[in-house]
Structure 1
Amino acid sequence: MSLLATALAGVVFGLALAAPPGPMNAIIAEESVVRGWAAGFRAGLGAMTADIVFFVLTLAGVATLLEQSSAVQPALYLVGGVLMCYFALGALEEARNTATFTAADGSPGASNGFQKTFALSLTNPYQLGFWLTVGVGLLQPGTLDVLAHVPGVGESLEGTMVVQTGSPTLLSGFFAGVAIWIVTYPAGLVAIGRRVDALAPAVAAASAAVLAGFGALFLGVGMLQLV
């Protein structure tokens, strides 16, 4: 039971990292409805590959050293902000040029979603912060009684869901959760897109807005940290 609970907890942690709205999911959405499921999956794989890089860096202690450098945080914000604004222009151009859901006809343009999400993930201070907080907790050997901390009923649920942190089961479950998201999220968007033919330009425009918004936010935070 403990191994099953640990695996399920890992899946939940993985989904919690991958699912929230943000620049990475905006790119996955754009790639999915404009170029099809495979392109959306590749975009998700770029973000997942960056998580694997952060996992290795955290395991080696390098991520903590990067975090301690006073120049790293503003540099990440500024580089990430510039990239997001640049990708927003590309998404806006696709919104103008894509008149319909085109995955079935041979997608317009080559897909570079993997490169986009990989670069953005590596320059995302929030993703680095996740691995320096939750990620470190996942890697450290020990146990965590998850339901024992539920307010009001924790005492009665104590021992019901004990997670083994630092175990291969937890880490496998975590990356399985991320994989589930990058497979099902593009599939859901493609399924909707085939039913609503005009979805592609709308999603591309929404992706451009999300990327531009996060880009402006990152640039603002980066500039404030420099002054």
Structure 2
Amino acid sequence: MFDVVVSALAGVALGLSLAAPPGPMNAIIAEESVLRGWGSGFRAGLGAMSADACFFVLALLGVVTVVRDVPVVQRALFGFGGLLMLYFAYGTATDANEAFGGDAGNGADDSTASGEGIETATDGPPEGEDSKGFRKAFVLALTNPYQILWWLTAGVGLLDPGTFALDWLGGLTVSTGSPVIVVGFFAGIALWISGFPAALVTVGRRVDAFAPVVAYLSAVVLALAGLSFLSKATGFLA
């Protein structure tokens, strides 16, 4: 029984190792959360999680290894992924400017006179507003070489049937390739994509300057990731 629990927790840890590190996926989740609320951030996370479900199936079929074995596929993914990230970075910056920058140049007089400027600048679009976060995260995750490389490394350990002992836990064993660890893996991702947006929304409600900073920072992260990917694509070509 304890071995089953340990295997499930190992799966959760693997899921968090993929979902939690800073990067373009979390930039989109952060943007959606601070601009449109928890629901939009969670849906963006579901987009990335759906891509992982696709990679899971492709890894089972052995298709993901094509990225490792065929350099031209790597070049195409880095190039297309980089362009997509730059496009989404522009959209993120535009959305953030519309939500938080409209009153930036009006000064205190306009906001005081109307009584609406400060509220509009800090609140952003209302919860539930139509969002493309799911599609953005899904498409970007499918073209994210680093996400695919994760499936070629840690993902292999997740899927490969076997066991390994945790001597420091009294010899308890983790069963890889089992349904328990796979369920734990996706539970770890679900934990992150629900908790991360909730934390951002909670802090954003208490600190007025937090949401604009996160929104613009998300655009910067996407832009830097896009430039990095394009640089790697041209490096492959060279």
TM-score normalised by the chain length of structure 2: 0.87
Aligned to 2:26: 25
8 Å contact 1:58–1:64 — kept in the other structure? yes
8 Å contact 1:36–1:107 — kept in the other structure? yes
8 Å contact 1:143–1:163 — kept in the other structure? yes
The sequence identity of aligned pairs, in percent, is 55
8 Å contact 2:35–2:96 — kept in the other structure? no
Q: Which of 140, 150, 170 does residue 120 from structure 1 map onto?
A: 140
8 Å contact 1:34–1:101 — kept in the other structure? no
Per-residue CA deviations over 1:20-45 (Å, capped at 9, x if unaligned) read 00011011001001000000000000
Separation in structure 2 between the aligned mates of residue 161 and residue 84 of structure 1, nearest angstrom: 43
Per-residue CA deviations over 1:52-83 (Å, capped at 9, x if unaligned) read 00000000111113431221101100011001
Which consecutive residues of structure 1, in runs of 5 or more, have no partner in the other structure? 149-156
8 Å contact 2:37–2:128 — kept in the other structure? no
Per-residue CA deviations over 1:108-164 (Å, capped at 9, x if unaligned) read 96311111111111111111111111111111111012x34xxxxxxxx27533100
* Offset of residue 102 of structure 1: 2.9
Separation in structure 2 between the aligned mates of residue 111 and residue 6 of structure 1, nearest angstrom: 36
Q: Is 1:192 aligned to residue 170 of structure 2?
A: no
Give runs of aligned pairs for residues 8-157 of structure 1, distance below 5 A. 8-99=9-100, 100-102=121-123, 106-107=126-127, 110-145=130-165, 147-148=166-167, 157=168
Aligned to 2:117: none
Which consecutive residues of structure 2, in runs of 5 or more, have no partner in the other structure? 101-120
C-alpha distance 108-166 of structure 1, shift in aligned 2 (>3 A):
closer
Runs of 4+ in 1 over 4 A off after TM superposition: none
Q: Which has the larger radius of gyration?
A: 2
Aligned to 1:7: 8
Separation in structure 1 between the aligned mates of residue 200 and residue 129 of structure 2, nearest angstrom: 19
Separation in structure 2 between the aligned mates of residue 108 and residue 63 of structure 1, nearest angstrom: 35
Aligned to 2:113: none
* Offset of residue 47 of structure 1: 0.4
RMSD between aligned alpha carbons? 1.6
C-alpha distance 98-108 of structure 1, shift in aligned 2 (>3 A):
farther
* Offset of residue 93 of structure 1: 1.1
Secondary structure at 1:144 match in 2: strand
* Offset of residue 107 of structure 1: 4.9
- How many pairs does the alignment contain? 217
Separation in structure 2 between the aligned mates of residue 162 and residue 45 of structure 1, nearest angstrom: 31
Q: Is 1:225 aligned to residue 236 of structure 2?
A: yes
Secondary structure at 2:21 match in 1: coil
Instruction: Please identify, of 167-176 and 117-126, the stretch whose mean Cα deviation from structure 2 is larger.
Output: 117-126
TM-score normalised by the chain length of structure 1: 0.91
Separation in structure 2 between the aligned mates of residue 56 and residue 12 of structure 1, nearest angstrom: 20
* Offset of residue 92 of structure 1: 1.1
Aligned to 1:152: none
